[in-house]
Copies of this chain bind each other. A is one copy, B any other.
Amino acid sequence: MTTFSEENYLKAIYHLGNHGQHSVSTNAIAEKIETKASSVTDMLRKLAEKDYVDYKKYQGVSLTEKGRLTATNVIRKHRLWEVFLVNKLDFSWGEVHDIAEQLEHIKSLKLTNALDAFLDYPSHDPHGDPIPDADGNFKKISKIVLSKANENDICVCVGVNDSSSGFLKYLDKNNIALGAEIEILSKEPFDDSMNINVNGKSLAISKLISNNLYVKIRST
């Protein structure tokens, strides 16, 4: 049985290592989890002891299969609960993350599966992030960051890279939600800003915005 803290470390290693593929540095974990590097070292030894990670001193850390499965299960629960909060309890997409951080640690396989069924087996959470199945498998979708789209492209918003409530509020204010159609009117090479058309209104967005919005190109 894993503790809350162990689960948070596994999740961090998973995300930092890009789906648990490559290994991760102590400092990166410390920064992500907002703790000290020495605390991370202690925890890595413990996780290695329990076979959740492969760890050799000074060499970084990577998830074992057991660790990867634990991490994806926590992520699965996190995202299912986010869907529940938005779809069933009418929360906005900016309000759900902190609550999901708590709910993701509830231990009951039956509950997770029942929730999944109750929500009609959603494939993505309210921020466009894919929900892994019980075996930790994601379906990959081909999404690009909006800044990579070209002039005259018409795209659909399919996700956000930054789920902070500040960014989400900005999007709400400008009526950009998942599924919104975005047309690239022009791109300004000097500062990488772009003019887009969304919901009939034109809008100038900075590089910071376009780098954090995922889209799918619909047509050209």
A→B interface (CB under 8 Å)? 85, 88-91, 95, 98-99, 102-103, 106-108, 110-111, 114-115, 118
Contact = CB atoms under 8 A, between A and B. Distances in A.
A95 B110 contact: yes
A89 B106 contact: no
B102 A89 contact: no
B110 A102 contact: no
A102 B107 contact: yes
A114 B90 contact: yes
Contact of A111 (B85, B108, B115): B85
A63 to B, nearest CB: 25
A111 B106 CA distance: 15
A114 B95 CA distance: 13
8 contacts: A85-B111, A89-B115, A89-B118, A91-B114, A99-B106, A99-B111, A102-B106, A103-B103
Most chain B beta carbons < 10 A, residue from A88, A110, A111: A111
Contacts of A107: 102
Contacts of A88: 118
Contacts of A118: 88-89
Contacts of A103: 103, 106
A102 B99 CA distance: 14
A75 B110 CA distance: 23
A91 B44 CA distance: 38
Contacts of A115: 89
B89 A114 contact: yes
A103 B89 CA distance: 16
Contacts of A90: 114
A38 B140 CA distance: 54
A94 to B, nearest CB: 13
B89 A99 contact: no
A89 B116 CA distance: 10
A175 to B, nearest CB: 24
Given A85-B114, A90-B114, A102-B106, 15 more contacts: A85-B111, A88-B118, A89-B111, A89-B114, A89-B115, A89-B118, A91-B114, A95-B110, A98-B108, A99-B106, A99-B108, A99-B111, A102-B107, A103-B103, A103-B106
